[in-house]
């Protein structure tokens, strides 16, 4: 591992927040940039060292890290439910209607870090020439062979450097926190978007709830998650890269649904989930911007 400059501002001045162990017994340091406040894993492991955390068991056995069986119909339905809620809250369908009323070419979309391709499948069913890009073997095989989708098994930053592929919609669903070069990825996406096209991303949000839970925060999954943005920090970064018209929301109280939950837990979740969304204090966030 090596110390790397802050991906947002380039600073090398950090304050340590936590030491956190990984499922493989390695220890990582979670720090905050003194200049721009971006929370990140630093020093960072290389991409090659992180890839070992994305074996098939990551998608089938990680019950303590968010998944039971990523390929199950239950998980697919839950993921689809969440991104459709996000699309509605981000006024995507209104944008879509207005944008395509002025455009005669075929609709196109790209989902970066598409995993098993559930959003690619959703967009394909909406009439898009839908594609995905993913580095993990298992999800790519599932998306191609089980769902019949167009998936590029590539690192997005080194893929299509001539920018021949252009899209109306580009998405990063719970992906940016995994990337070694998130700012560079957001910059490259601009070259793949058609004029007036839209970028949608979701990620875990560093804020009140994450600070409250500290090292036990549900999304502090190292080293898979390398960056933890605040809502203001991510909006500022997108503005710096010259994306426009941001629409954002936060959601998620941290009370994850579980079998055999007590009545008190269910009541608390019913109250807190809408409350954190209404007060914009959730520990997940989604943003939509245009080019």
Domains of the chain: 49-250+285-290 (3.40.50.150)
Q: Which residues contact 102 (CB under 8 A, 6 or more apart)?
A: none
What's the pLDDT score for residue 56? 58
Tokens of 153: 């098994």
* Residue 259 binned pLDDT confidence (cut-offs 50, 70, 90): low
What's the pLDDT score for residue 5? 98
Assess whether pLDDT exceeds 60 at residue 195: yes
Mean pLDDT, residues 18-23: 93
Tokens of 152: 């590029």
* Residue 264 binned pLDDT confidence (cut-offs 50, 70, 90): confident
Assess whether pLDDT exceeds 50 at residue 276: yes
Assess whether pLDDT exceeds 70 at residue 262: yes
223 near 22, Cβ under 8 Å?
Answer: yes
Mean pLDDT, residues 151-167: 95
Cα distance between residue 217 and residue 206, in whole Å: 10
Specify the pTM: 0.92
Q: Which residues contact 195 (CB under 8 A, 6 or more apart)?
A: 291
Extended beta strands in 75-163, E state:
108-112, 129-133, 150-152
Q: Tell me what percent of the chain is helix, strand and coil, each rounded to the nearest 5.
A: 35, 25, 40
Q: Using DSSP bridges, classify how beta strands 193-204 and 167-173 pair: parallel, antiparallel or unpaired.
A: parallel
More confident residue, 147 or 82: 147
Percent of the chain whose predicted confidence (pLDDT) is above 90: 76
Region of residue 117 (left: phi > 0; alpha: psi -120 to 50; beta: else): left
What's the pLDDT score for residue 61? 54
199 near 14, Cβ under 8 Å?
Answer: no
What's the pLDDT score for residue 53? 82
Q: Using DSSP bridges, classify how beta strands 14-21 and 108-112 pair: parallel, antiparallel or unpaired.
A: unpaired
* Residue 117 binned pLDDT confidence (cut-offs 50, 70, 90): very high
- How does pLDDT run across 38-85, given as a tens digit for each residue? 999 999 999 888 888 876 556 555 545 445 678 888 888 888 888 999
Q: What angle do CA 220, 58, 113 make, to 5 degrees?
A: 80
90 near 84, Cβ under 8 Å?
Answer: no
More confident residue, 71 or 185: 185
Widest CA span of the chain, in angstroms?
56
What's the pLDDT score for residue 65? 46
């Amino acid at each position: 591992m090596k110390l790397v400059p802050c991906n947002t501002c380039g600073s090398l001045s950090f304050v340590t927040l936590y030491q956190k162990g990984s499922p493989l017994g390695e220890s990582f340091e979670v720090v905050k940039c003194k200049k721009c406040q971006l929370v990140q894993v630093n020093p960072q492991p290389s991409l090659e060292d992180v890839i070992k955390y994305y074996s098939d068991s990551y998608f089938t056995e990680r019950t303590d890290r968010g998944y039971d069986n990523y390929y199950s119909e239950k998980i697919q339905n839950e993921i689809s439910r969440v991104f459709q809620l996000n699309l509605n809250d981000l006024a995507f369908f209104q944008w879509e209607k207005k944008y395509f009323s002025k455009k005669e070419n075929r609709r196109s979309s790209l989902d970066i870090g598409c995993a098993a391709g559930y959003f690619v499948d959703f967009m394909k069913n909406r009439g898009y020439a839908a594609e995905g890009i993913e580095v993990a073997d298992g999800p790519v095989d599932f998306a191609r062979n089980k769902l019949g989708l167009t998936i590029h098994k590539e690192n997005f930053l080194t893929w299509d450097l001539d920018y021949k592929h252009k899209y109306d919609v580009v998405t990063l669903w719970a992906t940016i926190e995994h990337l070694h070069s998130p700012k560079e990825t957001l910059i490259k996406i601009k070259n793949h978007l058609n004029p007036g096209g839209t970028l949608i991303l979701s990620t875990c949000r560093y804020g009140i709830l994450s600070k409250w839970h500290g090292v036990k925060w549900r999304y502090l999954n190292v080293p898979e998650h390398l960056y933890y943005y605040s809502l203001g920090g991510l909006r500022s970064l997108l503005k710096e890269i010259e994306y426009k018209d941001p629409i954002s929301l936060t959601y998620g109280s941290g009370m994850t649904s579980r079998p055999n939950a007590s009545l008190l837990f269910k009541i608390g979740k019913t109250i807190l989930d809408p409350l954190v969304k209404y007060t914009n204090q959730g520990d997940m966030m989604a943003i939509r911007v245009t080019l």
